[in-house]
């Protein structure tokens, strides 16, 4: 299987044609080998437009959603980004091709370890991965130019708003356990916040002190 051809098709058919335009995002998604981030047995499905299981009852997000969320951060290059929910590490790798440095947190140690290994394998040296409850952000590394949360929250944790720098953007799915709205919150220079509803989505839950107490099962 020629993964480069599959990747190009994924970008053309599932991402560009559905309205994602940012050339930095399209280029990053053309470059990052998604098939390395899924289980080997699922490698031939890696460029389909759907989430796939990554173990521990978690998923690698659908490519279109990765593209939309990355575009929503409105990156220009060189930024400092916090990702909550490392999962497979794929979203972190896409961000790392655009941003200056990515701080990514994951609550499940096995997933963080696996993600680190793949990120090292593809030479992603500007990603820091930490095992922690990411509902509190990453206090020591703030302020961030962007925060991206790849799990569904019941409401917007205050810590994320506090850890955004002036002009910074938070992209986060907010809603019930079964369905959420993808929100973008922009912090103005004066510490005011502008909220936008981007689209309906469905993510695994953000579990932690400022999130859900469990996954509802």
**Is 61 one of the catalytic residues?**
yes
Closest CB 166 distance from ligand SAM, rounded Å: 25
Q: Which is nearer to ligand SAM, 39 or 133 (CB)?
A: 133
Sequence-distant contacts of 18-25: CB under 8 A, at least 24 apart: 18/64, 20/64, 20/67, 20/68, 20/71, 21/71, 22/70, 22/71, 22/75, 24/75, 24/76, 24/77, 24/98, 25/67, 25/70, 25/71, 25/75, 25/94, 25/98
Q: Toward ligand SAM, which CB reaches closer, 79 or 83?
A: 83
Residue with smaller CB distance to ligand SAM, 26 or 151: 151
∠ CA 173-178-183, nearest 5°, is 15
Minimum CB distance to ligand SAM smaller for 153 or for 185: 153
Nearer of residues 88 and 142 to ligand SAM, judged by Cβ: 88
| Beta carbon of residue 98, minimum distance to ligand SAM (angstroms, whole number) | 15
Query: Minimal distance in Å, beta carbon 188 to ligand SAM?
Result: 27
Write down the least CB distance from residue 194 to ligand SAM, Å.
Answer: 25
Considering the complex, what minimum distance in angstroms separates the CB of residue 27 from ligand SAM? 18
- CB half-sphere exposure, 82, CA atoms < 13 A: 31
Query: What sign has the CA pseudo-torsion 31, 34, 35, 40?
Result: positive
What is the rounded CA–CA span in Å between residue 73 and residue 122? 24
6, 61, 88, 104: which is the annotated catalytic residue? 61
Q: Which residues bind ligand SAM (CB under 6 A)?
A: 58-61, 84-85, 87-88, 90-91, 105-108, 111, 133-135, 150-151, 203-204, 206-208, 211
| Whole-number Å distance between alpha carbons of 86 and 66 | 12
- Just list the catalytic residues: 61
């Amino acid at each position: 299987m020629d993964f480069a051809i599959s990747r190009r098709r994924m970008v053309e058919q599932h991402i560009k044609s559905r309205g994602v335009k940012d050339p930095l995002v399209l280029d990053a998604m053309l470059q990052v080998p998604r098939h390395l981030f899924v289980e080997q047995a699922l490698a031939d499905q890696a460029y389909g437009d759907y989430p796939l299981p990554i173990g521990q009852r978690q998923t690698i997000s659908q490519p279109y959603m990765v593209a939309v969320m990355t575009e929503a951060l409105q990156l220009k290059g060189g930024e400092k980004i916090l990702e909550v929910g490392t999962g497979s590490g794929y979203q972190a790798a896409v961000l790392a091709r655009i941003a200056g440095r990515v701080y990514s947190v994951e609550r499940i140690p096995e997933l963080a370890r696996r993600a680190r290994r793949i990120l090292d394998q593809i030479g992603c040296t500007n990603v820091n991965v930490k095992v922690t409850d990411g509902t509190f952000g990453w206090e020591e590394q703030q302020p961030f130019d962007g925060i991206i949360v790849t799990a569904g929250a019941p409401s917007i944790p205050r810590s994320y708003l506090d850890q955004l720098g002036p002009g910074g953007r938070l992209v986060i799915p907010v809603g019930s356990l079964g369905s959420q709205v993808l929100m973008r919150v922009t912090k103005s220079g004066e510490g005011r916040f502008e909220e936008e509803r981007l689209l309906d989505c469905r993510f695994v839950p953000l579990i932690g002190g400022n999130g859900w107490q469990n996954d509802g099962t």
